[in-house]
Every structure is written in C-alpha cells, then in structure tokens.
Structure 1
Amino acid sequence: MPGDDTWVAEIWVDPDWYAHERPEDPMPSAGLPGLVTLRQRSLLVGRPSQSRGIRPDVDCGSDPGVSRRHCQLTTDGLRWWVEDLGSSNGTFVAATGDPLPDTPLTQGVRKEIEEGDRIFIGAWTRLVIRKALPGEA
C-alpha cells in the first residue's frame, strides 16, 4: 500500500447495537475490542466454516448474526470501502455521533468509509477501521 500507514480493524461487542437488533442469542460481555491488522487490499469479514473452507480475514465468529461471507473491506492504501456480500442480516454504516443506522447497504455496492465511521454487522458486532497506533501492528 502507498505510504507507511498500517491499518487495523477494531472488533467491538456493542450493547447499543445488540439492543437495537434484539437477537435471541445472549450477548457476550462487552470489553476492549479485538484488533486485526489489515495487511491486504481486500479482506473478507465473516464467520469461519471449516466444512466450507471459509477463513475470513476479519473473524467475527463469536457473533451468530454474522454471515460466513458477510462483507468485504477494500482499500487503495489511502481510503477504505465496505461492500455487503449478500449477508443475511445486512451491513450498516454510521458516522460517530449519528444514531444507529436502520438502512442496510445495498448488496454489491461499495460505500467509502470515512474516518470515525462505524460498521455494524450481526447481532452485536461493531467494526472501526483506523490507522494503527505505534506498537499495535
């Protein structure tokens, strides 16, 4: 990627999204986010499946509301986009400070992610794409 910037995805358990979605599954305890270093230009977000040979780059396997092939993150090295891959429960994007989103992204249409945007998927998962801090990657 151009430049020396390393990017990470924070994977949060979001109690507000859980309350919004009202799934049957119990929410795990919310704590510090998981952190995934984003090393490729295109990354699959989803839940792994041994039998189907699906190994997502951003593993959200603890959330049963996340599809195996939920969404795709892509970058040109400077900007990021998210695209829903026909997930069962949709992919939602909202800016920090905005209310929780109600309208999912249209399948197959890339949406540019601005700094501070939150990506909501599944029953409780919130993703935040940002530049890595020193020592994180």
Structure 2
Amino acid sequence: MSATRAFARTAPYVVPVLDRAVHRLTGGKVLPSARMLPGVILTATGARSGLPRRTPLACMPQEDGGWLLIGSNFGRPGHPSWTGNLLVHPEAEVNWQGRDIPVRARLLSGAERERAWRDALAFWPPYAAYQARIGRQIRLFRLERR
C-alpha cells in the first residue's frame, strides 16, 4: 500500500500531522508512524526563514548510533523541504525514542550513496517504487551525533 500513488497523495498531509500531535502529547514517547518504520523527529533550521522546523521522518538507525534519512517525499516530484534545510544548515537535532540528540547531517554521494541506497531498498522496498516514478535522485543523508 505504501508504494501506491494514492498513498503518496494523501500520506504527506496525514502522517506528519498525526505524528507531530501524538509525539507532542506523549512527551516524545510515541511516534505513530514508527509502528511501520523506525522514526525520528528532525528539528532543522529553515533554509530561508532561519526558524526551527520539526519534521517527523522514517529513518534507518545505524550500528554506530547515527541515522540514515531518505528524502523520498513519498515518491512525489520535488525534494522534501527538510532536505533543503539540511543542505543549508547541516547542524540539527533529532528526537529519538524521547531523547533530543544534536546531529550533523551529510548528503551522501558516489559509492557511499550507492551502498546506503542498497541498504535502504533492503530495509524498505517501496523506496524503489518511489524512485521509479520521479525524475530526481532521492537524497540520502547520514546523521552523525555531535
């Protein structure tokens, strides 16, 4: 279901709103979308506004304690705004399992990106459907604790 165009049309308007509300009401203890995939709340500085922007995101926890974020935008044409924010302001914060953790984001490229993309597809196969229906390359970010 998550690879369908119908999901891509509706999920961006429902999932983040629900995630933010429940996360706030439970003091960071519950993130509904994390029932499907692990998730974080990313707080990044807006590229144009300079204001903090909170975005619930699926993530791939890494063995070293970092995270991989996939800018799929549910397979919609444009890059999600949080990716542009991280390009301009790579220092951010994630809320992971109720704890705020300062991080530094790095856009992956080349062989490192290819390895991460293979891992992402093994982790969540619908990413392949998202990539197949858009003309842009999905951005992958590595978040490292600072």
TM-score (norm 2): 0.26
Write 1 or 2 for the structure with the bigger share of helix. 2
TM-score (norm 1): 0.27
Write 1 or 2 for the structure with the bigger share of strand. 1
